[in-house]
């Protein structure tokens, strides 16, 4: 019996946990109820529990034998500020919040793996279960790292996964190297001089300057980044004034930049600063850039990618594991953990009929739970073999 079949023995219990978490979604760094449930379950299975790591994070530690090898398995716990429209009987009971990215399923899968490993895991060494808060752009991984995650719970390798809508259940997708993009958020405040709209000559129009800056920003990727090196710069918000007949004093430009290399991101930031300030100056205005790296590029270690793909193939067959998945321009803050410790991140099928992530009709597919839990468990047994 492989790990997937073993987890299926208590699939109904795991589904009940997942539905309960789904009905009670909590935003980043507010996952108090979720953390309570995770900690209680880990303790119930005899796993050492550590609370408050990086805020509301939970770490479980399971040791077996005297092997020195150590592995980290990570899942995220937070929900999103979205009104749920699924209509399920376990839909969110908190207005304006829902698990629209499947973190309820990720948490449940890691709990399933923890139970399996505690009850029948064949391994020699230490498994660290990382239940991370605040993945959705609030810096939960960084908070855990600043709290001494790998100093307190050392790992030789660390692994994570995310459900993939559109990929059939039972299938996995992974690639070595760049898997997901780095992402930064930016705000550009353009300051001019306000005036009555009937007397524009008395103004320094920040709206006109902001519009010119917005156009100029599009040249950064198209005329500076090599065509074969993927990068995206998107202006997603332009705000200025609130009256028909008033030229405002300030205008605000907001957006995101994404790429697969930190040095590319640094170049984009520098070029934005240069363009914004000089274009604004051409209109007699000023521009101040606030540029914030929110996610590092997620880079899969080749050796650990091979190990993760191999563990998946041993469970579901090589034909069900895509080793050449497309790199995604979406982002994931597990990337910061991978910068601190070699590891890998894999996509797990959520079904071809699944709604997209961050959509008010999205729901995690319960049939995927044994596959994710089984892979986490199999990784521990593969990376921490008995007799070593």
CATH number of the domain that residue 56 is part of: 3.40.630.10
Q: Let me know if residue 40 belongs to a domain.
A: yes
Cα distance between residue 135 and residue 31, in whole Å: 11
Domain co-membership, 272 together with 165: no
Is pLDDT at 106 greater than 80 in this prediction? yes
pLDDT digits (tens, 9 = 90+) for 282-320: 999 999 999 999 999 999 999 999 999 999 999 999 999
First to last CA, the chain: 23
Cα distance between residue 336 and residue 130, in whole Å: 14
pLDDT at 154: 98
Q: Which residue has the tokens 């593969």?
A: 382
Domain co-membership, 236 together with 141: no
pLDDT grade for 201, boundaries at 50, 70 and 90: very high
Domain co-membership, 63 together with 155: yes
Domain co-membership, 19 together with 144: yes
Domain co-membership, 164 together with 203: no
Domain co-membership, 153 together with 190: no
Closest by CA to 61, choosing from 137, 140, 148, 152, is: 152
Domain co-membership, 267 together with 307: no
pLDDT at 228: 84
pLDDT digits (tens, 9 = 90+) for 78-92: 999 999 999 999 999
Cα distance between residue 92 and residue 318, in whole Å: 37
Is pLDDT at 270 greater than 90 in this prediction? yes
Q: Which domain holds residue 108?
A: 3-177+297-383
DSSP secondary structure code for residue 294 in this structure: E
Closest by CA to 42, choosing from 162, 134, 129, 160, is: 129
Beta strand pairing status for 177-180 and 343-349?
A: unpaired
Domain co-membership, 18 together with 155: yes
What's the total number of domains in the chain? Answer: 2
Cα distance between residue 337 and residue 342, in whole Å: 8
Beta strand pairing status for 231-240 and 298-300?
A: unpaired
Structure tokens at 324: 């050449």
Structure tokens at 114: 């923890």
């Amino acid at each position: 019996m492989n790990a997937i079949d073993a987890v299926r023995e208590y699939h109904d219990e795991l589904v009940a946990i997942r539905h309960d978490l789904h009905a009670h979604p909590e935003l980043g760094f507010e996952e108090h109820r979720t953390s309570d449930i995770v900690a209680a379950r880990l303790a119930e299975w005899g796993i050492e529990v550590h609370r408050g790591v990086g805020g509301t994070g939970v770490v479980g530690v399971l040791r077996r034998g005297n092997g020195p090898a150590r592995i980290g398995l990570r899942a995220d716990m937070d929900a999103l500020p979205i009104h749920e429209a699924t209509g399920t009987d376990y839909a969110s009971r908190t207005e304006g919040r829902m698990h629209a990215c499947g973190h309820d399923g990720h948490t449940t899968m890691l709990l399933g793996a923890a139970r399996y490993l505690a009850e029948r895991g064949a391994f020699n060494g230490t498994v660290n279960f990382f239940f991370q808060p605040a993945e959705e752009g609030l810096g939960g991984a960084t908070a855990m790292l600043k709290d001494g995650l790998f100093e307190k719970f050392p790992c030789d390798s660390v692994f994570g996964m995310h459900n993939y809508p559109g990929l059939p259940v039972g299938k996995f997708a992974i690639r070595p190297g760049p898997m997901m993009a780095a992402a930064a958020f930016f705000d550009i405040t353009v300051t001019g001089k306000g005036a009555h709209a009937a007397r524009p000559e008395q103004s320094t129009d920040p709206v006109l300057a902001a519009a010119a800056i917005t156009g100029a920003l599009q040249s950064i990727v198209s005329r500076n980044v090599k065509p074969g090196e993927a990068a995206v710069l998107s202006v997603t918000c332009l705000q200025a004034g609130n009256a028909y007949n008033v030229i405002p004093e300030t205008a605000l430009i907001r957006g995101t930049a994404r790429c697969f290399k930190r040095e590319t991101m640094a170049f984009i930031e520098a070029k934005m600063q240069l363009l914004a300030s000089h274009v604004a100056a051409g209109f007699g205005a000023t521009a101040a850039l606030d540029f914030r790296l929110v996610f590092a590029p997620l880079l899969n270690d080749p050796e650990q990618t091979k190990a993760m793909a191999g563990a998946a193939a041993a469970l579901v067959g090589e034909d069900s594991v895509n080793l050449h998945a497309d790199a995604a321009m979406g982002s994931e803050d597990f990337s910061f953990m991978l910068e601190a410790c070699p590891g890998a991140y894999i996509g797990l099928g959520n079904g071809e009929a699944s709604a997209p992530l961050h959509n008010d009709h999205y729901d995690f597919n319960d049939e995927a739970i044994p596959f994710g839990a089984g892979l986490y468990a199999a990784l521990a047994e593969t990376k921490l073999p008995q007799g070593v």
